[in-house]
Amino acid sequence: MSQLFVADVGGTNIRLAQVTESGITQVKKYLCNDYATIGDAIRAYQDNFPGVAFSAGCIAIACPVDKDLIKMTNHHWRFSKSQLKQELDLQWLDVINDYTAISMSLPVLTDTQKVQIGGGTAVAQTNIAVFGPGTGLGVGHLVPTAGGWQCLDGEGGHVDFAPVDELELVVWRLLREKYGHASAEEVLSGRGLVQIYQAIAEHEGKFADLTDPADITERALHSRCDLCVATLNLFCRVMGSFGGNLALNLATFGGVYVGGGIAPRFVDFLQKSEFRSRFEAKGRFHEYVAAIPTFVITEPDHGLIGAAAYLTQHYKG
């Protein structure tokens, strides 16, 4: 039986699924380190389904994909797209960036796979933006086309960090002194949480002893550390400002989505924070952005869902 597959590959895990007319199914996760090559991991997945022969696939991966040779940034796997297609005996194979997959998932996410923060109503078939604080800061835009959707690639996480208030200036100064340049990623990421924490502690003359972003977040959520609460509040405010900038850049009346591994951990905190007010704080364009909704993606398999949407749109077999 011929079947389609998708994969979502990060530095630690590879998630795989089959694609049917109703969506993805048979989702399984493997440790990348358990397999010498990505081909070995895909074959291990296929071995679970005797009689199934994959005819086409789409792999979403966290690294550049513009050349035939794919070299993972945070893992030792490297492979040729053309050779992998031949090795797996596929009619069709495409390898896309992980944020292309995330972007492609946005139009098909249901209300149970996302949480809206604040007001605004999405307008169908209009531009959409997504950004995701995690290990780094990924950014993507999605625009409607005659044949479906087109993802606009870029490196939006590395734009300049634009401080809005005095405390953010404190963070900006620390980053400028440390790196010579203050990018948005150095604030909106796991290490960004730590650097915000360090900057506020230094500003207030307090001892900064935490180095794990998860620890800072956990203490903030349980109100066990005033410094951690201040850190997470500033993080949410900067996310709001950054998201509002994306909305202005491309008139994203389809919505601005927050993905990544950090924000879904504290949706309730985000709801009560100044995230949305800062998203809308765009001076004369307040009403313009106030109409644009913001969402947090809560679906853990959104990378696979997006890869499946990409495959369905592009594979004509």
Residues 172-228 have pLDDT tens digits of 999 999 999 999 999 999 999 999 999 999 999 999 999 999 999 999 999 999 999
Residue with tokens 């492609």: 104
For the 110-298 domain, the top CATH level (class) is alpha beta
CA atoms of 176 and 202, how far apart (whole Å) = 15
Pair type for strands 137-145 and 128-133: antiparallel
**Residues comprising the binding site for ATP?**
7-12
Domain spans in the chain, listed from the N-terminal domain onward? 2-96, 110-298
Closest to 79 measured CA to CA, from 68, 93, 94? 68
- Which residues define the annotated binding site? 7-12
% residues pLDDT > 90 (the chain)? 90
Question: Taking the model in full, what pTM does it have?
Answer: 0.90
Alpha-carbon span 146 to 288, nearest angstrom: 26
Rounded to whole angstroms, the Cα distance separating 305 from 300 reads: 10
pLDDT band at 311 (very low <50, low <70, confident <90, very high): very high
Q: Which CATH class is domain 2-96?
A: alpha beta
User: What confidence tens digit (pLDDT) does each residue in 38-80 have?
Assistant: 999 999 999 999 988 999 999 999 888 999 999 998 789 999 9
One-letter amino acid of 218: E
